[in-house]
Structure 1
Amino acid sequence: MPGVIRRFQAMPLRARLALLVAVAVAVAVAVVSTACWFIVRGKLYAEVDAKLHSVSEGTPLRTMDIAATLRGCPAAPVRQGQFDGPKPVYYWQLARADDDNPCVFAEYSAGTVLVDNDDRYVARSGDPAVESFRNGTTTDGKAVRVLTRAAVAQGPGGGVVEDTAVMFAFPLRETESTLNDLALLLLLVSGIGVLGAGVAGLWVARTGLRPVDRLTDAVEHVARTEDLSVRIPVEGDDEIARLSRSFNAMTAALASSRDLQQQLIADAGHELRTPLTSLRTNIELLARSEETGRAIPPADRRALMASVTAQMTELASLIGDLQELSRPDAASRGPLKVVALHEVAEAALERARLRGPELVFRSDLEPWYVRAEQAALERAMVNVLDNAVKFSPSGAEVEVTLRGGELAVRDHGPGIPAHELPHVFERFWRSPSARSLPGSGLGLSIVARTVQQAGGRIALAPAPGGGTYALISLPGAATPPPASS
């Protein structure tokens, strides 16, 4: 059996579908044909039984005939010519409870039927209501249908004859011939049906798998050429259509991911070029000074060293941001735990005060607890406040509020033009007015990613009277959840 299953699994899908259809139809046809044959057989036997019952009711037994027949028992089989007139069709005889030899009514019976235990049981019962229908055999090997009833004599001294049954039988030659013809016809029809089912199954398999063939060709084309622009036409709403839509969505997502990757590489190369060029220029100046022996004035040398340090810091920050964004979402997440958002915001405020000592910070932070990765959330808060520090003029206020899970950071800087707002969370995007300021253009992208991973939302909007609102909404609660035991 395991070998058959392995061979079946090794067959092509078309062949398996065709074979399964053929087998299913064959089983169905076999069940229907068998049921049909048994139903017809039951109907034909019921008709024969009705005839036998009618003959037995219409054939009274006289006491003298029974006595004479029992005295002459056993009798030789009746043969043509022993009596005048046509040969009888029915078999008519007596059976005794203690004897295997039947007692035939020679002038009225077509022959002799073999007696079996059912007949002797009816003879012993002595009950006229007891009767038995069975298939039997004559002494010359013919199949007959037999009705056995207790023998009841009519006339003087009549009544139930003790230990004696009367047997009526009818030949089954025509019935069996009809059943054999029906069996042959059903077998022929079943064979044609199975062959037709095999052909239909193969056609259905080919037709049904045609969309799968297109999908297979498309997958092989993508694997061979890496062409992610391939799309499969979708027709209908069946499983194949769903599979085609899923494939199209997958290739579109892969194409988008590859485009973003290429764009990230191009943007990273562009952003890295500026600090690297400046760093190279400054180092070449220092190296030339050493080679030529012409000392650079101390003030200029300090400026060059400060510039080198700043460029290296900017380069390290850029590389860190690139590493953060290059990792998949699942890989970039640390363990999630309950974090006090108001404490994270307060810690970010302390760092912002150090970076903007000339600014005035006002805060109103209500308790709020969220489930997030703490380090990433702290970095996001710092990036949002760094933007506020970077674009706020000296002496301006930076307002930070946290109410009901919504953190708002408002600065009084120049604001963001409305046409630039859709681009602020794009990687490496920087406003034309901010390109002279330090930064890589990745900070808000990292903030948006962190907030989305925590199930929240972030948006930037113009503030009334000038400046920008940064609104971060995170799901959580005003009280920490109870510690698990």
Structure 2
Amino acid sequence: MRARLMGVLAIVSLVLLAALLLPFLAAVSDAQTQRLQLTRSAALDRFAGLADRSAAENDYSSVRIEADRHEELYGEAVLVTDASGKVVVSTGDLSMASPGVGTVADLAARELPQLTIDPLRPWSSARTLIATPVGSPHEPEGAVVLAVDSSRAIGDVRRLWLIICAAAIAAALLLLFMASRTARWVIRPVRQLEDAVVELGRSATWNQPLEASGPPELRRLARAVEVMGATVQRSIDVQRQMVADSSHQLRNPLASIRLRIDGLAPELRDPASPAFAHLQDDLERLEDVLSDLLKLAALESRVTDGRAAFAAEECLVGAVLTEELEIWRPAALAAGIDLVLRVSDGLVAAAGEHDLRQLIGALLDNAIKYAGSGATVVLAAARLGDGSIEVRVADDGPGLPAEQLELATQRFWRGGVTPLGTGLGLAIAEQTALAAGGRLELVPTEPHGLTAVITLPEATS
């Protein structure tokens, strides 16, 4: 954004500078041209007057003397013709055979003076011919041609142009510097807002006030975002604290109920009694829910507080997957499910071993519960090309409809009609993946089934 703003400001500044510079350069050239033209036109008129008097006396010696003096002072040749077109005075290398001399002399002799000097530019020619008639329109006496040496005037133009261009470059650099400062003044608070909002979205943490800088509109926006971030942070803290406190507060009465049930008289806690069996099942289920809630609250606290120190930990993916597979194999055999392991060699993830074990265990538990008897669960791991490791837990069970894949990681969501589980397993798995520095995604298995895809950063050492 800063580059785009700098580009716009630079283009506008340079266009305005060019709009001022070009007319100024033209004005300097025109002024030098007019000055040269006035002085040389006056000299030409003086030669024409002398030639007119000399023609009446038939003696051009005075004209020749003045022409020689003019050439000595200014280095400019003079040519004078009489009424018949004959050259009577010529200095330097100027003659009727010189390029352009015959034409301007003939035009001037016919009362068409050539007095205009083209605007001088640094690249203009250093020699220009001007001419004026001698005598009156009724009695023409010839013409005077002056070869104007404009090299000195062109040098002045070149010097003034260099000064003006140097000043323009300095002004352009100053404008670019001011544009850079302006862009920084505007973009800096925007970048701070962006970083703060990105951090809030990533970790739900708002831990520092925003600096009040930039235009008034951005300062007001920064204050509004600061209030919003603090409000979101308080809401998250209250929610997390409420879950943790509620779970802890409920554990004590549940433990008390468990002790009271275990302390009942033998005739009152008959295992064959359906009512007692239901009471035991409900109590165990409630204990599982509370345990999962506490685990979920702890994981969310790690993620939101930024305390997931996964970057400093490493683990061998193949070893963890092999051990977890052996741990869950008895449960899979009891459910009629076949477990298959496919792991590439040498995979080292930049994640904690405990986190990876918890994550794989939660996903295997979910697959064994819902894949169904006769299904196959494949646990695979491979290295991706972007410096990350992908771990897949895929089953060929009934799977989930596409519209339910995003809902599966929500708390207490269960897709089936069976009352298995607490509805927190995949939510815990997702938060575990985040705490381990990775991410979890649920995708369908072809032709049917569910695949949990874990992406973890690969260790660089």
Q: Which TM-score bucket, shorter chain as reference?
A: 0.3 to 0.5
TM-score by length of 1: 0.41
